[in-house]
Amino acid sequence: MTRAQDITTASNYRSHQSDHHTKIRETGRPLFITNRGKAEAVLLSPEAFDAMQDQLDLAESLAQIKRSEQLYADGLGVDALEGLKKIAADRGILLDR
């Protein structure tokens, strides 16, 4: 949820940059920077950015798994183990121990 105290103008940000950085570190919340009343940028702590990127990576991985499951269900894929065996056989690699 965006709070009013998490929004500032570009000119205020430039004038009080250090204070804004301290607040971002202390609260962990992003800072929305506006210019002429419109959002121009969002400033995040490195930790908040990393957490957001981790969530995005997970969501993309889950979406890819769902796409793969659907392709397999539609008969457009092969079982993973069978696929690995075929790749190994094509390259002369022995998988059985």
Query: Would you give per-residue pLDDT tens digits along the chain (97 residues)?
Result: 668 789 999 999 999 999 999 999 999 999 999 999 999 999 999 999 999 999 999 999 999 999 989 998 999 988 888 889 999 999 999 887 6
pLDDT of residue 95: 85
pLDDT of residue 96: 76
CA 43 to chain centre: 16
What are the residues whose beta carbons fall under 8 Å from the beta carbon of 90, sequence distance 6 or more?
A: none
pTM reported for the whole predicted model: 0.65
Long-range contacts of 35-41 (CB under 8 A, 24+ apart): 35/9, 35/10, 40/10
CA 28 to chain centre: 17
**Contact present, 30 and 6 (Cβ < 8 Å):** yes
